[in-house]
Homo-oligomer: A and B are copies of this chain.
Amino acid sequence: MAILDTALSECSRVGLGGLSIGNLARLLDMSKSGLFAHFDSKENLQLQVLQNGRDRFVVRVLAPALQAPRGIPRLEALFEHWLEWADSPFLQGGCIFASTSTELAAQPGALRDCLLSAQRDWLGTIAEMARAARREEHFHEELDPEQFAWEFHSMTLAYHYFSRLIRDPEAQSRARNSFQNLIRASRA
């Protein structure tokens, strides 16, 4: 849906709270109430924006990574597809999950609950892939899958920060260095 795609892109720039119905209507060349009629409340619009982000994330990051063989190759594919996702032109401000996770961290409600469940899924997926890599004997036996997910995720947060705030031209190679260090330390 065109409305949700525009809203997703806008939210990645200004956050969920920074999105206003009036401004979004202007971007879409619609009247405010015409746009509002599609949603029952602003919160519902924001929830659908988050859900749109989840759907796209599955298509752009998760599904392609699952094409790669289990173990290290799959984890490498996951990381590379995440980097592409973070630079997607349809996300003007980068990964919406990265940008909204600080915004919603201290704001209880349905939006926070939605983001939290998405993030728990994501962390669980990384940990499960690390567990598979251990089973395949790509990773050593003592590897802690949850700690692996923690460190994997910290690299994505850092990439968002260095590419978007610092605008470090080396952000990508730094992220890849970090990731390769993690893989090296995890290897059997």
Contact = CB atoms under 8 A, between A and B. Distances in A.
A170 B169 CA distance: 34
Contacts of A120: 166
Given A103-B103, A106-B14, A158 B150 contact: yes
Nearest to A115: B165
A23 interface: no
Chain A: interface size category:
35 or more
B165 A178 contact: no
Q: How many copies of this chain does one complex carry?
A: 2
Interface stretch (A60-68, A75-83, A92-100, A133-141): A92-100
Interface in A141-188: 146-147, 150-151, 153-155, 157-158, 160-162, 164-166, 174, 177-178, 181, 185
B106 A103 contact: no
Given A150-B178, A154-B178, A177-B147, A102 B160 contact: yes
Query: Of residues A94, A102, A104, A123, which shows the largest number of chain B Cβ atoms within 10 Å of its Cβ?
Result: A102
A139 B154 CA distance: 23
Contacts of A99: 102-103, 105-106
B106 A93 contact: yes
A161 B107 CA distance: 13
Interface of A: 12-15, 17-18, 92-94, 98-99, 101-107, 112, 115-116, 119-120, 123, 146-147, 150-151, 153-155, 157-158, 160-162, 164-166, 174, 177-178, 181, 185
Which 5 residue pairs across A and B have the least CB separation, nearest first? Answer: A154-B158, A105-B164, A93-B106, A157-B157, A105-B165
Given A119-B166, A154-B161, 12 more contacts: A14-B106, A14-B107, A17-B17, A102-B165, A115-B165, A116-B166, A146-B174, A150-B162, A154-B155, A154-B157, A157-B158, A185-B185
